[in-house]
């Protein structure tokens, strides 16, 4: 019984990490693609939608950056990929000049 619950727990955490990694990659990538296609900065019409996207993105980003190292033993590459994605996003954001 314990092995089954551990296996289900690892599957749950793996799926959570994969979803959060997708969120951290898809939101900025879709904004960049939209900016290149529209040739202007992306500004959302609804302030509530913008705040919701920022909260979802920051929650996923902070979870991957802070919690991923604690899951390295059980999730290995999924946790490492999440941490690298979060750290890469942080470094990219710091090195990108403000215009």
CA distance 38 to 33: 9
DSSP state, residue 31:
H
Residue 60's pLDDT is what?
93
pLDDT digits (tens, 9 = 90+) for 32-49: 898 889 888 878 788 998
Residue 46's pLDDT is what?
87
Question: By the 8 A CB rule, do 62 and 87 touch?
Answer: no
Burial of 8 (0-12, 13-18, 19+ CB in 10 A): exposed
pTM, entire model: 0.80
Residue 72's pLDDT is what?
87
- Taking 50 as the pLDDT cut, the residues of the chain under it are none
Report the candidate in 52, 51, 69, 64 with the shortest Cα–Cα distance to residue 22.
Answer: 64
């Amino acid at each position: 019984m314990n092995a089954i619950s551990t296996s289900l727990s690892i599957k749950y955490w793996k799926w959570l990490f994969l979803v959060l990694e997708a969120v951290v990659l898809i939101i900025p990538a879709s904004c960049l693609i939209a900016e290149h296609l529209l040739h202007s900065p992306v500004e959302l019409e609804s302030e509530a939608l913008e705040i919701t996207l920022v909260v979802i993105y920051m929650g996923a980003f902070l979870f991957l950056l802070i919690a991923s190292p604690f899951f390295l033993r059980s999730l290995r590459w999924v946790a490492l990929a999440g941490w690298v994605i979060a750290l890469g996003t942080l470094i990219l954001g710091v090195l990108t000049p403000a215009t």
